[in-house]
Amino acid sequence: KEHGLHILINYASNQDAAEKTKNQIEEAGGTAELIPFKVQNYSEVTDVISKWIGLNPDSKIEVLVNNAGITKDNLLVFMESEDFSDVIDINLKGVYNTTKAVINHMVRNRYGRIINIASYAGVRGVPGQTNYSSSKGGTIAFTRSLAQEVAKRKITVNAIAPGFIESDMTKDLDTDQLKKLVPMNRFGKPEEVSGTASFLASESAAYITGEVININGGL
């Protein structure tokens, strides 16, 4: 609502959660619709987004937030090949697939905001997460490279690297122990990440590109 944008909510399988998100947006005075596809499937992503653009010729996709992600943690000596591949396919190849599906559209419109959700793990590396850290480190490199390619078209590409944030991905962690590592002595809130994403999507951030913004309480 803040930016006057109609929101396209992607999901892979959890339609109930997607519907809940849609309802929350509408209750706040915004508009939204669901577009299901699996980000790791290039042809599926391309087909769904191309179809939407074709059916909405008077609309423009102005902002893309790449935030799909999974973890399959293990020490490398115990990590199976599919656990490495699955994380890379969703977390990194998914960024390529969705961005590739909209980038020509943004270039033609000479405007765009691409916001990639990376991680502290991609900045520093985390033991037991060679797959996840690789996917997020790759996302950061992808961000910095693409930013240089499309800057002249008024398209910005930035990444956000959260630390420990209260979410489904951290609900099973030992919060009391881990928050001792954080100078602010707490986990972050989802709103503290989404607020930064909202800023990067705004006109106020038009001269910021290729950046990685760490949100980690000083970790």
Please tell me the predicted confidence (pLDDT) of residue 1. 54
Instruction: Determine contact, residues 171/152, Cβ cutoff 8 Å.
Output: no
Quick one: how far is CA 8 from the chain centroid? 14
Please tell me the predicted confidence (pLDDT) of residue 217. 92
Q: How far from 83 is each of 11, 12, 116, 120, 178, CA to CA, in Å?
A: 21, 18, 22, 20, 24
Quick one: how far is CA 111 from the chain centroid? 19
| Catalytic-residue membership of 132 | yes
CB neighbour list of residue 219: distance below 8 Å, 6 or more residues apart: 120, 163, 164, 181, 182, 183
Instruction: Determine contact, residues 136/179, Cβ cutoff 8 Å.
Output: no
Helix-, strand-, coil-residue percentages of the chain, each rounded to 5: 50, 15, 35
Characterize 27-54 residue by residue with b for buried, 16 or more Cβ atoms within 10 angstroms of its Cβ, and e for exposed: eeebebeeeebbbbbbeebeebbeebbe
Please tell me the predicted confidence (pLDDT) of residue 2. 63
Per run of 10 residues, the mean pLDDT along the chain (length 219 residues) is 84 94 94 96 97 95 96 96 98 98 97 97 95 98 98 98 82 76 90 94 97 94
Burial (CB count <10 Å: 0-12, 13-18, 19+), residue 59: exposed
Prediction pTM value:
0.93
Instruction: Determine contact, residues 156/104, Cβ cutoff 8 Å.
Output: no
CA distance 91 to 159: 13
Quick one: how far is CA 174 from the chain centroid? 25
Single out the catalytic residue among 111, 120, 132, 207.
132
Residues comprising the chain, all counted = 219
